[in-house]
Amino acid sequence: MKIEQFLLPQCTLTGVQGGSKKRVLQLIANLLAEYSSNIDANELFDNLINRERLGSTGFGNGIAIPHCRLESCHKPFACLLKLEEGIDFDAIDGHPVDVIFALVVPAEATNEHLAILQELATRFENSSYRNNLRQADTNPDLFDIAIQSVPTA
């Protein structure tokens, strides 16, 4: 599945003021709810928080991939945020997070959920991809970089 199938340009933002993990998760929930008539921001926020309680989605290298499954979600939906400054996200490497790719999928889409997470992990393991995202100055640039194919080693 191509990223542009679930990441909207309107949900791809640079220069975001993070502040805290909780504040960023609330921003994500509000943003995704704004562009999906099915998703309730409070329900999504609660699900993202509950997922984080199971274990941090701080991937390492300044990347976090908060994600959850949601009954009211009918298709995979995502947002990408480039924070103005890194925040503590309880990442596995202990480093602050400044790039966040949040994903919500339908509750029954277990296989699709795992396939998308694997694709994202592969992308974010590529240091050139991470660096290019961090160099983006505008929302359209960030979106264009996000959807580019990533060479495999």
Known catalytic residues are 67
Q: Write the DSSP string, 56-125.
A: --EEETTEE--EEEETT--S-EEEEEEEEEEE----TT---EEEEEEEEEETT-HHHHHHHHHHHHHHHH
Q: What angle do CA 37, 11, 141 make, to 5 degrees?
A: 155
Task: Tell whether the torsion through CA atoms of 2, 6, 9 and 14 is positive or negative.
Answer: negative
CB 79 within 8 A of CB 32: yes
- Spatial separation of the C-alpha atoms in residues 61 and 55, rounded to whole Å: 17
- Tokens matching residue 50: 């509950």
- Spatial separation of the C-alpha atoms in residues 57 and 78, rounded to whole Å: 15
